Amino acid sequence: MDKIFDKLINSFIDDKVGIAENFLSTVLATSLKENLKLLNLENKLRLAGIGNDLLINQDKKIRGDRVYWIDRKHKNIHENKFLDLIDLFVLHLNSTCYTGITGYEFHYAYYETGSFYKKHMDQFKNNDSRQYTMIFYLNEDWELKDGGELCIHHAEKLQNISPQNGKSVFFRSNEVLHEVLTTNKDRFSITGWFKIN
């Protein structure tokens, strides 16, 4: 895994946005997607909010995804394998880049056809604990016509990243302005933040 971790970190250093293919194995990505689909069928997903607990707001004109927080308390084998991988990545980040990460939080994100998330930053205005954002995509056979790209607003250009299965994206939570473009079919992912508490 160290080679994939280093590829992600090096592309982040080069372009402020790290991208790595196959961070998640095909088997793990498929298992997590099936788990997310089951959670949706069981009506356990909740409309995502904008802001944190102190300033929460739900507005489908800004953000249309539904989420479910990943937690070891669920005792789900696939979630735990995912979190084991995150633990390894945090160790690698802290030992190679001296980031001082002390915690993290991740949730599933389900974008129904026609939904999107308008331009935003991930760090809260009243809480700077989120240091880095990381996204994992769970979409097999994704095509250009399917939309749903992550659009990064660099100072000098736009960068569109297709949400293809197993791909991961990594960037600073307080530096990178981004949005999720309208998806033309159901779109599945995991999003989270590495934190300094």
Which tokens go with 95?
């030992």
What is the per-residue pLDDT across 10-42, written as a single tens digit (0 to 9) for each? 999 999 999 999 999 999 999 999 999 999 999
What is the per-residue pLDDT across 112-142, written as a single tens digit (0 to 9) for each? 999 999 999 887 666 688 999 999 999 999 9
What is the per-residue pLDDT across 104-120, written as a single tens digit (0 to 9) for each? 999 999 999 999 999 99
In the chain, where the domains are located = 2-48+61-195
Name the CATH architecture for the domain at 2-48+61-195: Sandwich (2.60)
What order of strands is seen across the sheet that includes strand 17-20? 17-20, 168-172, 130-137, 187-195, 103-111, 66-69, 46-47
The pLDDT of residue 128 is: 80
Q: Would you place residue 54 in the very low, low, confident or very high pLDDT band (cuts 50, 70, 90)? A: very low
